[in-house]
Structure 1
Amino acid sequence: MKVCLYFENANLIAKSGIGSALRHQREALELAHVDYTLNPNDSYDILHINTIGIKSKEIIHKARREGKPVIYHAHSTEEDIRNSYFGSNAVAPILKKWLINLYSSADYILTPTPYSKSLLLDYGIKVPITPISNGIRINDYQKDQAKINKFREYFKLSPEDKTIICVALPFKRKGILDFVEVAKQFPQYKFIWFGDTFKYLLTHDIQETIKRDHPDNVIFPGFINGDVLTGAYTGCDLFFFPSNEETEGIVVLEALASHSKTLLRDIPVYDPWLSDGVNCYKGKNNEDFNLKIEQIMNNQIPDLTDAGFEVAQERDLASIGQKLKSIYEEVLK
């Protein structure tokens, strides 16, 4: 059995969540000893497609002509297109029709969470759908003091500085404006938002926020990877992710795997696998966030990091690889 993992414009999406999904899928299949190719012109038995562009549609048609089954990994929905890049709200309804057409052309659909599956069912899609996490490479997020030191040195943090981080593209949907507003209430802490700015895609208000309209305790370093980012996850005092819409949130898995204290917006995507006060903390609005941050930073509420780590551990790539292998075998039958 050989699988074609297809990601259109892989270099362009490398810094996004879908780019992380590509890296995770490759490793998951390697751990499960499933042969794969990234080249749709190679010989293969199953097309596992992840992107939604014109070339993706062409690759599906090619697979169909050759009698090969198609599995679509549905990372995108109308809901997570809205309030993202410049003009996204205008194109979201059009893209929804495109997504329905593409996803309906598959033999089988994978979604990252039960929530994203429910969205596709609401679209009227009739193809069989199974939720399966994008997964996480658990071993990459073990606490390493050398990496934490690199993080603190990179940002010239003093031993007394406490840090609250977020990792995401700086879209309105991701909650960047709320992140900045909340930071204004806590000038004693450093708030760091990791994520490529993609200036040509950002709306004017987000560009202004990043350039000048933020307090001194907020830092926008752009895209940073490697030891500095891993050190930030494992060495921060809080991972604060106020996103309004996700299909899963790979960065949330990364935070949980890092034993980071984690504060999320209370949105449907985290149900039922993440519960407020059990394996993370949640808030519905900035008032909630302000209260939870004060409590977390002052150790006034329980540390849930061990329970959060268990959630990530269940989604380790070795487990995800076996689940993918099982689905491939089912589809081939």
Structure 2
Amino acid sequence: MKIAIFTDTYYPDINGVAKTLKRLTNYFEEKSIAYKIFAPSSYSNEYHSPNIHLLKSRSFFLYPECRLAFPNLFDIKSELQTFSPDIIHVATPFNVGLCGVYFAKKLNIPLVGSYHTNFNHYLHYYDLNFLSKIHWKYMHWFHRSCRKLFVPSTETFRLLKQNGFSNIEVWPRGVDCQLYHPHYDKNSVQKLHSTPEKYLLTYVGRLAPEKDIKTLLAVAKSIPAELKEKLHWLIVGDGPLRKELQAQSESNMTFTGYLVGKHLAKVYSASDLLVFPSPTETFGNVVLESLASGTPVIGANSGGVKDIINSGVTGILCKPGQVREFRDAIVQLLTNDELRDQMGIAGREYALKQGWDQIFEDLNWQYKRVIEEQNGQKYA
């Protein structure tokens, strides 16, 4: 089986889609499954592979972290015909994804898609609610040729079902529990980031409106003074709101920029809590990474996050945007070491059951079913 994936983001980009697809292609390599990635050239050209066809691109002016590709259709067609894939997977609904849809039809190749981002929910944070109907019409049009549409959580499944989508399958996310674990040295993280306070609270993610970072800032300011002086915040990530947030931030906040690999894993492990107010997640990779690290999560009771956190067991779910609920949850857990430790243990136990291999094997089986249905072929 040969698989072509069309995506507007891929490694070394730092986001949930890019990380998931990189993990998927690692699995393909381990299983000797042939694949070809079609993706925009990145701001970093350090990563090269014969399995990746890079497309010319520029930073999108409204969101510099995103790349806008300028595909050469002749080159893509030639590459596809040489590779001769059994199936095309479109992972994003923009320029590169459109190429995948086009060539799947033109070359009669089975097509599947995946829905990673709740763009409709994003509209609220950019004062673009009037575009909601247009958004859903476009999503229906874009995915109408997909024999399967993979979504990362049951909450996203329900959302798309309510909006008239069919052929939906849940394709959840796993976590690397060998990288993310509770046993790193907390003192080394405190020294590196100059955080000598008793408690370490962390946020991990883009610094953008759709993550509801303003609620995070309001929560930090609302912590009672006697507790505030005992804690430090690490804000891990970057994005269009960083300068504004830093200008308004508390003195006990450190902005680290993006962290990856062991450095990020050590921060999770050293943290007492992950505070994640984003209500727009279709999954919430950082939430699962934190639980794998033995760190409870206080998150928004919305989207894919509510599928991961067992409120009262592995963390606490709060009503989106409710500063008081988030503040009270933080105070409750920081003043109850035993409960916080119990939640950390429960979170680690949950994460240990969320392995990638079975998830990818199930996806592989779905690929084979789609190919068989269209072509009448049988794959062992």
Structure 1 length as normaliser, TM-score?
Answer: 0.87
Q: CA deviation at 1:223?
A: 1.7
Distance 2:357 2:345 in 1: 20
1:298 aligns with 2:339: no
Name the SS of the counterpart of 2:218 in structure 1. helix
Residues 169-318 of structure 1 aligned to structure 2 (within 5 Å): 169-186=206-223, 187-188=228-229, 189-197=231-239, 199=240, 202=241, 207-208=243-244, 210-284=245-319, 285-299=322-336, 302=339, 303-318=342-357
Higher RCO (CA 8 Å, separation ≥ 6 residues): 1
Name the SS of the counterpart of 1:244 in structure 2. coil
| Deviation by residue 1:212-234 (Cα, 9 ceiling, x = unmatched) | 11211122222222332211111
Aligned-partner residue type, residue 108 of structure 2: G
Q: Which has more radius of gyration?
A: 2
Which one of the candidate residues 162, 165, 168 is aligned to 2:202?
165
Q: 1:55 to 1:99 in 2, by over 3 A?
A: same
1:321 aligns with 2:360: yes
Q: 1:305 to 1:94 in 2, by over 3 A?
A: same
Distance 2:132 2:19 in 1: 23
Q: 1:89 to 1:138 in 2, by over 3 A?
A: farther
State whether residues 89 and 100 of structure 2, in contact with CA within 8 Å, keep that contact through their aligned partners in structure 1.
no
Gaps of 5+ in 2: 38-52, 54-75, 373-380
Partner of 1:48: 89
Distance 2:187 2:107 in 1: 53
Distance 2:346 2:31 in 1: 26
Aligned-partner residue type, residue 282 of structure 1: L
Distance 1:109 1:316 in 2: 22
Name the SS of the counterpart of 1:288 in structure 2. helix
Give the RMSD, CA atoms, in angstroms.
2.4
Gaps of 5+ in 1: none
Percent sequence identity is 23
Aligned-partner residue type, residue 190 of structure 1: H
| Deviation by residue 1:151-170 (Cα, 9 ceiling, x = unmatched) | 32331122x44210011111
Partner of 2:21: 22
1:156 aligns with 2:156: no
Partner of 1:142: 181
Distance 1:123 1:5 in 2: 25
Structure 2 length as normaliser, TM-score?
Answer: 0.77
Partner of 1:112: 152
Answer with 49-58 or 233-242: which moved more.
Answer: 49-58
Name the SS of the counterpart of 2:233 in structure 1. strand
Aligned length: 321
Q: 1:80 to 1:24 in 2, by over 3 A?
A: farther
